[in-house]
Amino acid sequence: MTGFLRELKRRRVLNTVSLYVVGAWVALQVVEVLSGAGLPPSTMRNLLVMLSFGFPIVVVAGWFFDISKNGISKTAPLKKGETLPQLRFIDHVLLFGLIVVVAVDGYILSFPPPDDARPVSSTGKQQRTIAVLGFDDIEIKQGNDPVGDVFAEELRSSLTRVAGLRVLGPETSNLLRLASENRLVTAGELLVTAMVLGEVLLDGDRIQVSARLVGVPAGNEIWSSSAEAPVGDAVQLQQDLLQQLIGAIAPDIDPDPLHGPRAETGACSTVYDLYLRGKQLSKSRHISQAEQYNRGMELLREVVSIDDQCGIAWEAIATASINMSMPGFARAGAAARRALELNSSLPEAWSVLAEIAEEEERWNDSEEYFLRALYADPTNAHVNLMYSEALLARGRVTDAVRHALEAYRHEPASTVANWRVAMAASYAGNSELIIKHIEAAREIEGKDSPFYLGFLVDAYLLKGQTELALEYYARLKEPDWTWEWMPDCMRLRDDPALAPGVREDLLATLAEYKSGTMSARQGFYLGAEISSCANWLGEPDIYFDLISVVGVEPFPGGVPTEVIFLNLFAPDAVALRQDSRFRELVLETGLLDYWRQWGWSDYCKPDEDSFICD
């Protein structure tokens, strides 16, 4: 036996077989990775079977042939007087290892082959995409108000805090709710594989809830549950539903929400019915719904007067109070801070503080608040959209596009999310992304909006298709958004002879703005048009003259810094960014310090102790 083993060593059979085993192991590792990307489960076993059949062939080939750096040659017989090499310890270890490999291989192949079903990982994203539709109010008792939408929203907000799920936002979920007969088709187009539907009855001091999980596209009922409890136990009821839902949707993931629940069991127990009613009514922000909004705010204020520890009610007050006025900022800011004292993981409260800091030009604070909001819930579409707009005003365009797209991922059927992506794309100079998302918004809304047409003008100007851009500009038909000089301004790059007339028209418009006779809406949108035209004209003085005006509507205190920089970070505003007054603005507003701490603009970079922009 020893002589045979020594002959194996002389013929280098052990070395050849060892190389084969190593190569086989590498091949199996590659197939394992590819199996996670969609290969059938039987692929690994089939490869192992082929490699096992190849093993004895390699042994026989290794006996008769010698593999070296000079190639493959027939193994020479033992010469007269030549002795067989002695076996070393490493040879015994190598032989033992090969025997173990063969034994393990046989053991694995002794099991029956796996079912060649499609692996979960290949469809993981689709199987984990959930839409929580607003719950129907079974009956609205006298003296009560509808609560179904907010009950569903609380459930949705809890699901977004669970890692491993993609949960569609309220706007997209509402579109599915309204889709009725086409709901399953629409859900399939949005890559939804399960929808949560339900009904709520708030009856005195008790709440009844029924919920069901419907599969897409089959429409089959996967799970259902009904529960009734005192309204003070509604938070626990919601958390029980959440646990059951996750067990039905994705039993392999951790059901515990990140950062804990929005409200602990027993929180707001004496006022939860008022909270549900008040929050749903306070979302009625349209001018035609002022009565509902005011009633909702009254109920929310009643909630915190009874239970000052109800953090989610303080958050609801904050989000419903914020507007573009100092009193609104004061009320919203105070409520948001109180909410966060009670629960620091409420994203909407952090977002309110971020928006206020943004308007007050406290950019470092705003950045920190936005990041805290996203830490609490990185999937929150509203927070991502607000942060995206703030990043645009700081010139961080690539980051702005990323956060707009993250919002869109969770709100694909939202017109707001789509046009905000288009907005960020226009600052990035990405014409194809603009067109894609504006066309989506137009399809969702079923009509043209000046917003949409305006972005298409930008897209075709970026593509160099001036005449097509002019066609869309002519279709705007919005007297407060259009100027007679803009078509000639667009043609400047092709026809510089138009410059003198355009310059005269711009100065006349600027004089009208300064006189205060221009409508507030025109004044609001004038900056974007003049910034573009002044840049194409090579006349930055006109834009910087515009933003220096104080005392004129809609900016009686002067044009807000955020609005100023939104125009200065357009991709074609090169002449404006290279003006000395742009440098002065960056220094005066603290933007340079912000860049150094949080990240530089796409259009500016550090230059020793200063910066340069293009």
Q: Given this model, what pLDDT does residue 40 score?
A: 59
Q: How far is residue 408's CA from residue 541's CA, in Å, rounded to a whole number?
A: 38
Is CATH 1.25.40 the right assignment for the domain spanning 403-475? yes
What is the model's pLDDT at position 349? Answer: 96
Q: What is the pLDDT of residue 122?
A: 33
Cα 433 from Cα 424, distance rounded (Å): 9
Token pair listed for 131: 């839409």
How confident is residue 4, by pLDDT bands cut at 50, 70 and 90? low
Exposed / middle / buried, residue 570 (Cβ in 10 Å: 0-12, 13-18, 19+): buried
> Residue 260: in which H helix or E strand, if any?
none
Q: Which residue has the higher pLDDT, 285 or 305?
A: 305
Does 606 have pLDDT greater than 80? yes
- Is CATH 3.40.50.300 the classification given to domain 129-269? no
Q: Which long-range contacts (CB under 8 A, 24 or more apart) does 292-301 make?
A: 293/320, 295/145, 296/320, 297/321, 299/145, 299/274, 299/275, 300/274, 300/275
Structure tokens at 188: 């399939």
CA dist 98 → 22, 55, 91 (Å): 11, 11, 11
Which residue type occupies 540?
P
Tokens (6 digits) for 8: 């194996």
pLDDT tens, residue by residue, 50-99: 877 777 887 777 666 666 656 666 776 766 666 666 667 676 667 777 77
When pLDDT is cut at 50, 70 and 90, the band that residue 2 belongs to is low
- Distance from C-alpha of 368 to C-alpha of 110, rounded to nearest angstrom: 58
State how beta strands 194-203 and 221-230 pair: unpaired
Q: Cβ distance 355 to 322 under 8 Å?
A: yes
Asked whether the bond before 217 is cis by omega within 30 degrees of 0, the reply is yes
pLDDT digits (tens, 9 = 90+) for 331-370: 999 999 999 999 999 999 999 999 999 988 899 999 999 9
In terms of DSSP H, where are the helices of 37-88?
42-64
531 vs 110, higher pLDDT: 531
209-213: list long-range contacts, CB under 8 Å, 24+ apart: 209/135, 209/151, 209/237, 209/241, 211/135, 211/155, 211/241, 211/245, 213/245, 213/248, 213/249
Structure confidence at residue 57 (pLDDT) = 80
Looking at the predicted structure, is the pLDDT value of residue 276 above 60? yes
Distance in angstroms (rounded) separating the CA atoms of residues 268 and 305: 12
Which tokens in the block code for residue 159? 């699901």
Using the 8-state DSSP alphabet, how is residue 255 labeled? -
Tell me what the mean pLDDT of segment 140-150 comes to. Answer: 80
User: pLDDT tens for residues 404-428?
Assistant: 999 999 999 999 999 999 999 999 9
493: closest CA among 464, 463, 453, 528? 464
Whole-number Å distance between alpha carbons of 320 and 48: 62
Yes or no: say if 434 and 458 are a contact pair by the CB < 8 Å rule: yes
Cα–Cα distance between 532 and 48 in angstroms, integer?
Answer: 65
Which pLDDT score, from 0 to 100, does residue 330 have? 92
Find the helix or strand (DSSP H, E) in which 273 lies: helix 272-282
pLDDT of residue 81: 61
If pLDDT is split at 50, 70 and 90, which confidence band does 522 have? confident
- Look at residue 512 in the predicted model and tell me its pLDDT: 92
Measure the CA–CA gap between 266 and 9, rounded to whole angstroms.
76
Nearest one of 255, 233, 236 to 245, comparing CA atoms = 255
Biggest CA-to-CA distance, the chain: 115
Residue 118: pLDDT over 50: no
The sign of the dihedral angle between the CA atoms of 498, 501, 507, 510 is negative
Selection from 544, 520, 512, 519 nearest residue 531 by Cα? 544
- 119 pLDDT band, cuts 50/70/90, is very low
What pLDDT shows up at residue 227? 93
Mark out the alpha helices in 477-579 (DSSP H runs): 486-490, 499-515, 520-537, 540-547, 561-568, 574-577
Torsion on CA atoms 74, 75, 79, 84, rounded to nearest 10: 180
Cα–Cα separations (whole angstroms), residue 473 to 302, 451, 476, 504 = 50, 11, 5, 21
Position 450 pLDDT exceeds 90: no
